[in-house]
Structure 1
């Protein structure tokens, strides 16, 4: 099962990503990177050994978001 995590590249979101992946979920992250970094997702992947599907977008940019998904 896949889980969408908005803000998944931030501090709390990246920790959530690790826990979800360790629980067996496939994780998809949406983040505009305003207060976050892709490095957090790289670290999450290294911790879990699983890739994180990441889209740089903002949920306020509805047209952009749906084109990427």
Structure 2
């Protein structure tokens, strides 16, 4: 089976990716690499082959910063 794993280079995702590969699934990882380390990616490369075959890095939109003062009531307008 083909599997797309979102967040597969983090702690839990990397173990999931290895388990899926061990079970014989073709695994593709999409990750923004925010919670991963180069050591994890290198270990996955040793197990899964060159990263260009299984890793698709992507960017996430920037988080909005709160503009209210600390302690101020939050407001929302739609």
Provide TM-score, normalisation by structure 2. 0.62
Q: Is residue 9 from structure 1 mapped to residue 12 from structure 2 by the alignment?
A: no
* Structure 1 residue matching 2:44: 3-state secondary structure: helix
Query: Cα RMSD between the aligned structures?
Result: 1.9
The runs of 5 or more residues in structure 2 that have no matched partner are 62-78
Q: Which residue of 2 aligns with 1:20?
A: 20
Larger RCO (alpha carbons 8 Å, 6+ apart):
1
Deviation (angstroms), 1:45: 3.4
- In the TM superposition, what is the alpha-carbon distance from 1:26 to its structure 2 partner? 0.9
Deviation at 1:41, TM superposition (A): 2.9
Counterpart CA distance in 1 for 2:34 and 2:40 is 13
Q: Which residue number corresponds to residue 43 of structure 2?
A: 43
Alpha-carbon contact 1:9-1:38 (below 8 Å) kept: no
Which consecutive segments of 4 or more residues in structure 1 shift more than 4 A? none
Q: Is 2:29 the counterpart of 1:29? A: yes
More helix by share: 1
